Chain A
Amino acid sequence: MTDPTPDATTVESPTMTYREAMREAIRDALATDERVFVMGEDVADYGGTYAVTKGLYEEFGRDRVRNTPLSESGFVGAGIGAALGGLRPIVEIMTVNFSLLALDQLVNTAATLLHMSGGQFNVPLVVRTTTGAGRQLAAQHSHSLEGWFAHVPGLKVVAPATPEDARWMLPTALADPNPVIIFEHSALYNERGPVDPALGPVDLERAAIRRAGSDLSIVASAGMVPKAIAAAEQLAAAGVSAEVIDLRSLRPLDIDTLAASLDRTHRALVVDEGWRTGGLNAEIAASLTERCFWSLDAPVARLASTEVPIPYAKHLETAAIPQVDDIVASARALVGDR
């Protein structure tokens, strides 16, 4: 596991898109470990609905890049079986909305086997899926349900927010002896950023401070991270110094890093593209209140999506999910007049 040095990533590293980074990660895994294969809906000659696996079928062939029927429960179950049998499957579920069809396999089987077998059978399965709104794909393709999976013991849940994490989280996930779900945000696929080609596998357990600040801590993940950074820049112009923390891992939650930040800033705003009620934001807010109560100068604030199915209409979709201006307004309310 390595940490990027700032110089290496910002100065010397080539840039690539989040999509290219993910594809490079899969290609590298296919090329270096013959146990690895990819399967999912339209991942082969079509190249995946979000074009992440484009070209891999041509490069590695039908045995390594496999199309599946439209049956999430079936092919996730097949992935669990392959993992138990010694392979290292990368299963693509088109969007998190469709993962609900595979909940039984993921929650009742993949997450439980190690425990229920008394440690005899582990499931080294990697599931990749897409989450998030912003592309006018309507309610059945736009929800952010990653918090549901973060509820389940036995699963590891990560959400890369940068191309570099998209590139280097996968090898760590594949090396993990237990199931890992990677949530890729659909609005990030075209985001470009530096990727250190020599970085190597990164840890899947620690949050990262993407921007240092002293007046409040903004906690975000996946698609909310770039928005939080943009908000922090606006806030800086208004004299408010916001620290932006990228959760990276949704399970386990790195409360230590959040608490350390909050002990410096004394105010926290949790930004979540999921819904507020029972959301991951609620878990974070509760944990921070437990851990940091005597450091808090204001209640832990939450900014989440409006509690409606994500609308199709552009203006309604925009209004339903947290935007940069919303983050700025919530942050200003938290720090008060200054």
Chain B
Amino acid sequence: MSDSTDLDVSRFDYLLPSLGADMDEGRVVEWRVGVGDTVHRGDLIAVVETEKSDIDIEIWHDGIVEEFLVPVGELIDVGTPIVRLRHLDADGGATETTGAPSSRSSQPSPPPADPDVTTALLEPTTAVIPEPTPAVDPDRRVLASPFARRLAAERGLDLSTIEGTGPHGAVVEADIRRAGTAAVANAAATTAPERQRTPASMRALIAERMSRANREIPHYHLARDVDLGPLDAWLAERNASRPITERVLPAACLIRAVALAAAKHREFNGAWVDDHPEPADSINVAMAISLRRGGLVTPHVEAADRHSLDEVMERLNELVAAARSGTLRASWMTGSTITITHLGDTGADLVHGVISPPQLALVGFGRSRLRPWVIEDLVTIRPIVTATLAADHRATDGADGSRFLATIAHHLEHPEDL
């Protein structure tokens, strides 16, 4: 790439962009690339948390990631260099620093002799990022096509956070699709803290995700009745000696049982990617949590198979409180590998669930109810819950699902091992 040689600029820094008219600071919550990765214009490189929402940000130049300049989670000002990249040469490889002085007169400031040009690159007048970064003029009206506006409204996206690539920088359909894809990839149906999301926009997101699930995923459904008698008794005894704040609820036991079963039947834990299942290493069990004002969110308990029941309960309390107060973090919402829906004791008897794409399975629990139950030769009255499995038939078959459900039932019937 002759330009970079002329300029003696082999490296460039990517600055934290303003992702909305009122954004002046933000924090990187997740890198989507690693050091050494080659990135191209349009690639998503990081998730940035702003006052309003978490946003995937794109790089506007090809390059090779050399160094991250800010730690994840630290609050930084707009314009702060966040990542240093090396330019690609014309062959797609990295350009080496030549140290040759530039003869180009059109540059507003002369390039430094020092090959390390970072300081100069941070000057606002240099050509670090020749193309405009997202709108920073607070008075500027957001240009967007009518169709882009409609799509954004349907998806609950804030137009001012989306960089337009249409005429005059207008946001067009393609920009929304890019932003929408990123939003959908954040598996738990939201990129924004709940307090920002209106019921209508959440409805639209649920509509889109569930439509996609029913359109793309060939579901199969299995059910199995589980005797919760042992669990109820064990929990009652365990909780009796504890303060209320440390008591364990059945929901935490369900998470543990599913996590342990998923650790054994790994084909149900992960995602369907392109045309094949990709089992995940970590078992991040998402829990559907209904919101009082309508809608639901599905934050997860990370590595639920490797945490104790008490730790899972603690995290579950945290998730429910955050969901209800609208303070869920992106890291709790992205990367779920399997989902539980639990209707609770006032719910229906059983649930035929819909998988949350791109996951492979959803485990449902209906209400626990007293039913006649045969144990050996005796009919007794037991608290019974119907566990159901909705699974992706592309990844697994009914026999696999039956074994998975049996393992879940086994763990619930042997609570001392949870």
Would you call A287 an interface residue if the criterion is a C-beta within 8 Å of the partner chain's C-beta atoms?
no
Would you call A296 an interface residue if the criterion is a C-beta within 8 Å of the partner chain's C-beta atoms?
yes
**A186 CB to closest chain B CB, in angstroms?**
37
Would you call A297 an interface residue if the criterion is a C-beta within 8 Å of the partner chain's C-beta atoms?
yes
Would you call A293 an interface residue if the criterion is a C-beta within 8 Å of the partner chain's C-beta atoms?
yes
Closest residue of chain A to B145 (Cβ to Cβ) is A297
- CB of B166 within 8 A of CB of A296, answer no
Contact residues of B between 149 and 180, Cβ < 8 Å to A: 149-150, 165-167, 172-174
In the complex, A293 Cα to B147 Cα: how many Å?
A: 8
Give the residue of A298, A337, A338 whose beta carbon is less than 8 angstroms from that of B145: A298
Would you call A172 an interface residue if the criterion is a C-beta within 8 Å of the partner chain's C-beta atoms?
no
Contacts of B166 in A (CB 8 A): 297-298, 336
In the complex, A297 Cα to B167 Cα: how many Å?
A: 11
Q: How many residues of A contact B (CB 8 A)?
A: 10
Would you call A156 an interface residue if the criterion is a C-beta within 8 Å of the partner chain's C-beta atoms?
no
Known contacts A266-B173, A336-B172; A294/B165 CB under 8 A: no
**A174 CB to closest chain B CB, in angstroms?**
43
**B331 CB to closest chain A CB, in angstroms?**
34
In the complex, A298 Cα to B145 Cα: how many Å?
A: 6
- CB of A296 within 8 A of CB of B147, answer yes
Contacts of A337 in B (CB 8 A): 165
Would you call B344 an interface residue if the criterion is a C-beta within 8 Å of the partner chain's C-beta atoms?
no
In the complex, A293 Cα to B174 Cα: how many Å?
A: 17
**B402 CB to closest chain A CB, in angstroms?**
43
- CB of B172 within 8 A of CB of A294, answer no
Chain A window 290-333, contacts with chain B (Cβ cutoff 8 Å), 1 for yes, 0 for no: 00011111100000000000000000000000000000000000
Contacts of B145 in A (CB 8 A): 266, 296-298
In the complex, A338 Cα to B149 Cα: how many Å?
A: 21
Contacts of A338 in B (CB 8 A): 174
Contacts of B165 in A (CB 8 A): 336-337
- CB of A336 within 8 A of CB of B147, answer no
Closest residue of chain B to A336 (Cβ to Cβ) is B166
**B264 CB to closest chain A CB, in angstroms?**
45
Contacts of B146 in A (CB 8 A): 293-297
Give the residue of B149, B150, B172 whose beta carbon is less than 8 angstroms from that of A298: B172
Closest residue of chain A to B144 (Cβ to Cβ) is A297
Contacts of A297 in B (CB 8 A): 145-148, 166, 172-173
In the complex, A298 Cα to B144 Cα: how many Å?
A: 9
- CB of A294 within 8 A of CB of B167, answer no
In the complex, A338 Cα to B172 Cα: how many Å?
A: 13
Interface centre among B147, B150, B165, B173 (most CB of A within 10 A): B147
Contacts of A293 in B (CB 8 A): 146
**A295 CB to closest chain B CB, in angstroms?**
5
Known contacts A266-B173, A336-B172; A295/B167 CB under 8 A: no
- CB of B150 within 8 A of CB of A336, answer no
Known contacts A297-B173, A336-B172; A266/B167 CB under 8 A: no
**A190 CB to closest chain B CB, in angstroms?**
40
Contacts of A336 in B (CB 8 A): 165-167, 172, 174
In the complex, A266 Cα to B174 Cα: how many Å?
A: 11
Closest residue of chain B to A262 (Cβ to Cβ) is B147
Chain B window 315-341, contacts with chain A (Cβ cutoff 8 Å), 1 for yes, 0 for no: 000000000000000000000000000
**B240 CB to closest chain A CB, in angstroms?**
60
Contacts of B149 in A (CB 8 A): 294
Contact residues of B between 169 and 200, Cβ < 8 Å to A: 172-174
In the complex, A266 Cα to B173 Cα: how many Å?
A: 9
- CB of B150 within 8 A of CB of A294, answer yes
Contacts of A294 in B (CB 8 A): 146-147, 149-150
Closest residue of chain B to A295 (Cβ to Cβ) is B147
In the complex, A293 Cα to B150 Cα: how many Å?
A: 10
In the complex, A297 Cα to B164 Cα: how many Å?
A: 12
Contacts of A298 in B (CB 8 A): 145, 166-167, 172
The 10 A-B residue pairs whose C-beta atoms are closest, nearest first, are A297-B147, A297-B173, A297-B145, A294-B150, A296-B146, A266-B147, A294-B146, A293-B146, A297-B172, A295-B147
Known: A266-B147, A266-B173, A297-B147. 7 other contacts (CB 8 A): A293-B146, A294-B149, A295-B147, A297-B166, A298-B166, A336-B165, A336-B172
Interface positions of A (Cβ within 8 A of B): 266, 293-298, 336-338
Offer 20 A-B interface pairs, CB within 8 angstroms, sorted by A.
A266-B145, A266-B173, A294-B146, A294-B147, A295-B146, A295-B147, A296-B146, A297-B145, A297-B146, A297-B147, A297-B148, A297-B166, A297-B173, A298-B166, A298-B172, A336-B165, A336-B166, A336-B167, A336-B172, A338-B174
Interface positions of B (Cβ within 8 A of A): 145-150, 165-167, 172-174
